[in-house]
Amino acid sequence: MTATQAPAPRDTAGPALVELDDVSKYYGNIKALENVSLEVRAGEISCVLGDNGAGKSTLIKIIAGLHRHDAGTFRIEGEETTLANPRDALDRGIATVYQDLAVVPLMPVWRNFFLGSEPTKGVGPFKRLDVRRMRETTRAELLRMGIDLRDVDQPIGTLSGGERQCVAIARAVYFGAKVLVLDEPTAALGVKQSGVVLKYVAAARDAGLGVVLITHNPHHAYLVGDRFVLLKRGAMSGSHTKDDVTLDELTRQMAGGSELEELSHELERAPSPDRLGGRPVGDDTP
């Protein structure tokens, strides 16, 4: 999105792009997810927060078509559905950007941008990759998202972590995603690079996409999020819109609330003898 473009109006009417209603997933007798609900609307960012083992990865895999849910309802644009595989999810407009980004580090940026969807020209034995088109399209789409790379021919492995995340976001937007699922996009980044990535997450939202931001960082979530779902051990521990929760409350719930207060009490330093006005234990001095 350029500086002259106005953000797309948010479509809050009609069915959600993606809606999970009391969705559960079991692996044998292990409950990976139980009765989890999530709503993703165009022009909004829905944040899913939780620590390791909270069920975030399982939720991603259900939305991305890797795993099928065992109970509950999964709707796409109001239609109840069960995704057969990740290609089915892509065909329905759901693009997932995983933490490892699935890029080939030694390949140029433009090749990674079109990886698996390369345009060709010519016919029969003369068919070949349309390299010029891929270079020009990559440069134009990155600029449209506000990403000004020095050279799209440079290996993508030479980019910073934040820049690689931004390329992946721009790629999803270009290939027509309606819903963008981001798996911990700022987990391995510093403060400055995290800010860059969050800027492009907001740009995807303003382009009219529904975004699912998976994170364990409530500060990053609150900066850009419209809806918040908190997971703990596979179950929902909270569900809020930005209007009904503060950052402090979101952080407290994310940290465990009463559990954190109990831990803080347990870790309090025992008072020193000086504070008690007495002598150290074992001191027999008269």
CATH number of domain containing 60: 3.40.50.300
Query: Bridge-partner residues for 36, per DSSP?
Result: 23
Cα–Cα distance between 210 and 221 in angstroms, integer?
Answer: 15
Residue 89 falls inside a structural domain: yes
Host domain of residue 229: 18-104+175-261
- What is the reported pTM? 0.80
Residue 166 falls inside a structural domain: no
Token readout for 174 is: 């270009």
Residue 164 falls inside a structural domain: no
Residue 229 falls inside a structural domain: yes
Residue 42 falls inside a structural domain: yes
Residue bearing tokens 């930005």:
242
Residue 183 falls inside a structural domain: yes
Residue 152 falls inside a structural domain: no
Residue 268 falls inside a structural domain: no
- pLDDT per residue, tens digit, the chain (286 aa), is 344 444 444 555 568 999 999 999 998 888 899 999 999 999 999 999 988 888 898 999 999 999 999 999 999 999 999 899 999 999 999 999 887 777 888 999 999 999 888 889 888 888 899 999 999 999 998 888 778 887 899 999 888 888 888 888 888 889 889 999 999 888 878 888 888 889 889 989 998 999 999 998 999 999 999 999 999 988 998 899 999 999 999 988 887 655 556 656 667 765 655 555 555 555 555 5
HSE, CB side, 13 Å, CA atoms: give it for residue 71. 11
Q: From the centroid of its chain, how far is CA 1?
A: 20
The domain tally of the chain equals 1
Q: Which of 121, 124, 147 is nearest to 132 (CA)?
A: 121
Query: How many CB atoms lie under 10 A from the CB of residue 93?
Result: 19
Cα–Cα distance between 97 and 63 in angstroms, integer?
Answer: 12
Q: Which of 175, 170, 178 is nearest to 14 (CA)?
A: 178
Token readout for 62 is: 């259900």
